[in-house]
């Protein structure tokens, strides 16, 4: 998954750098960030996660909401999650909850809600 995300980031960066539309550098940087967030997120859809306790997870870059579904059936939404945390969570497989989820989402006090 890490290689896939890296390839997407490189592709987006190269594509956006090759445009010559006269936008300022600041505007270009904002557009690149927006494109990368749209590509890396799952638009909130859950994707399978290789883990002993997490079944699936998803991330919506627009709203910065990350969903985590545990193997016991519980589903949680975490609010204000930065893109970097989502990428690190996915890259931490097969231990995303113990390496990233619990220490960052719970330990740093992200707002959350249990959906089911």
Regarding whether 25 and 74 lie in a shared domain, the answer is: no
Regarding whether 98 and 46 lie in a shared domain, the answer is: yes
- Residue 91: its pLDDT value, please? 95
Regarding whether 61 and 112 lie in a shared domain, the answer is: yes
What is the residue whose two structure tokens read 């927006």?
34
Regarding whether 54 and 21 lie in a shared domain, the answer is: no
Regarding whether 49 and 97 lie in a shared domain, the answer is: yes
Residue 81 class from Cβ within 10 Å (0-12 exposed, 13-18 middle, 19+ buried)? buried
Regarding whether 36 and 48 lie in a shared domain, the answer is: no
Q: Which helix (H) or strand (E) holds 26?
A: helix 25-40
Regarding whether 72 and 17 lie in a shared domain, the answer is: no
Regarding whether 98 and 69 lie in a shared domain, the answer is: yes
**Residue 99: strand, helix, or coil:** helix
Cα separation of 61 and 86, whole Å?
9
Read off the pLDDT of residues 76-99 as tens digits, 9 standing for 90 and up. Answer: 999 999 999 999 999 999 999 999
Domain total for the chain? 2
Regarding whether 52 and 104 lie in a shared domain, the answer is: yes
Regarding whether 96 and 49 lie in a shared domain, the answer is: yes
Regarding whether 76 and 51 lie in a shared domain, the answer is: yes
Read off the pLDDT of residues 3-59 as tens digits, 9 standing for 90 and up. Answer: 444 434 433 443 344 445 555 556 665 555 454 444 568 999 999 999 999 999 999
Regarding whether 75 and 25 lie in a shared domain, the answer is: no
Q: Which domain holds residue 13?
A: 1-40
Cα separation of 70 and 97, whole Å?
10
- Residue 38: its pLDDT value, please? 47
């Amino acid at each position: 998954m890490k290689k896939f995300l890296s390839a997407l980031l490189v592709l987006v960066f190269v594509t956006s750098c090759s445009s010559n539309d006269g936008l300022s550098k600041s505007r270009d940087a904002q557009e690149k960030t927006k494109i990368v967030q749209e590509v890396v997120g799952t638009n909130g859809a859950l994707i399978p996660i290789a883990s002993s306790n997490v079944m699936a997870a998803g991330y919506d870059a627009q709203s910065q909401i990350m969903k985590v579904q545990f193997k016991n059936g519980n589903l949680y939404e975490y609010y204000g999650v930065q893109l970097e945390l989502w990428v690190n969570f996915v890259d931490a497989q097969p231990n995303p909850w113990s390496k990233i989820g619990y220490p960052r989402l719970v330990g740093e006090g992200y707002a959350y809600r249990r959906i089911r």
